[in-house]
Structure formats: C-alpha cells, structure tokens
Amino acid sequence: MERKIFHIVLGDSTGAMWGAIVMVAFSLGLGFLTYAIMKRLASMGGAEITPTTGRVRGIVSGTTIAMGVFIGFYASSLAGFYDLQVRGDQVVLHYLFPDRYVTQLAVNVLKVDKEPAFKSKWRLVVHDVDGAVYQSALSSQQDVQRALTALQPVIEPDALPRP
C-alpha cells in the first residue's frame, strides 16, 4: 500500500527570518556599544589599562555580549524545525537556522508528542529509537495537532485505513 505525502508547516518562517535579522542587528549594535564604551574608558587613562588592552577587552566584551544576546534569542524563539514532510516511509524535518534537512525512516520514529511552550504556543516533539529528540519551532496548537494527527498513522501502521 502506498502512503500519501503530507507537508505541514510549523511556525512562521518569514517572521523567524525577520526576527533573526532584527536580533542580529540588535546584538551587533549592543556589542559595538560595549566595545565603544570599553575603548573610551581605556582612552581616558589609568595606570592599569593601556589603549591596546582596553581595545582588546572591548572586542572580547562586545563579542561576548552580542553572541550571548543572539544565542539566548535563538534558543528561546528560533530553534526547531519549521517544516515537516512525510514521504512514504520517510519523515523529513526542515530546519532554517542553520538551513538543513533531517531525514528519518518512519520505523525509526518512536514517539510523537506535543508540548506547551511560551505564551499559548506549542512545540511538536519527535523522538526516535536512537534517543534523539527533535522539537519544532513555536507554533499554534492547531498546527501542532494537525502534524501530530498526520504522523500518528505513520508511526503506528495498524492505525492506517485498510484498502
């Protein structure tokens, strides 16, 4: 029996891309501001801080702050797959950040759950037999339920309608 191809979009990929662009700009601006403040403090003088040391400290501090802010935003809002496809006996997950595809055989998918996330958003959680856990991006409860309903027959072949 041939299975249908399901394609379900979880989350807003356009909004995620714009959010990433805004957060990169914000993080870089915050990092540059930190660098400028550290460099200015070093140029004002002091016995222990030379201009070169102040510049290096400013670069390190600015980079650390910029990366910390962006990584925090990524972990809370952008992480997860945005696209789910079921192609016959394969489950394909598409991640945007970084852009990659993860393909699993349907027989290797152990369990599929939905879990509440942040402010009435939900995540689809896919567990495989190797212990890997794949979480979707933040999405509406309806989209997550639709994906869960589409995946259940794939991981439970007895639930498929008989011809």
Helices (H), 47-135: 51-73
Percent of the chain predicted with pLDDT > 70: 89
- Please state the length of the chain: 163
Mean local confidence (pLDDT), 133-159: 82
Q: Over the stretch 48-73, which tens digit does the pLDDT of each residue have? A: 667 777 788 888 999 999 999 999 88
Q: What pLDDT, on a 0 to 100 scale, did the predictor assign at position 3? A: 57
Q: What pLDDT, on a 0 to 100 scale, did the predictor assign at position 67? A: 93
Q: Over the stretch 91-113, which tens digit does the pLDDT of each residue have? A: 889 888 888 898 888 888 888 88
Q: Which has more pLDDT, 148 or 46?
A: 148
Half-sphere exposure of 160 (CA within 13 A, CB side): 14
In the predicted model, is pLDDT for residue 25 greater than 90? Answer: yes
Q: Spell out the domain ranges in the chain.
A: 5-12+80-159, 13-77
Collapsed DSSP state (helix, strand, coil) of residue 32: helix
Is the pTM above the cut of 0.95?
Answer: no
Q: Which helix (H) or strand (E) holds 150?
A: helix 141-155
Measured at the CA of 154, the angle between CA 131 and CA 158, to 5 degrees, comes to 110
CA distance linking residue 112 with residue 110, whole number of Å: 7
Tell me the CATH class for 5-12+80-159: mainly beta
Q: Which has more pLDDT, 132 or 40?
A: 132
Find, among 84, 93, 94, 101, the residue nearest to 144 by Cα: 84
Q: Which residues contact 123 (CB under 8 A, 6 or more apart)?
A: 80, 114, 115, 117, 135, 136, 137, 138, 139, 144
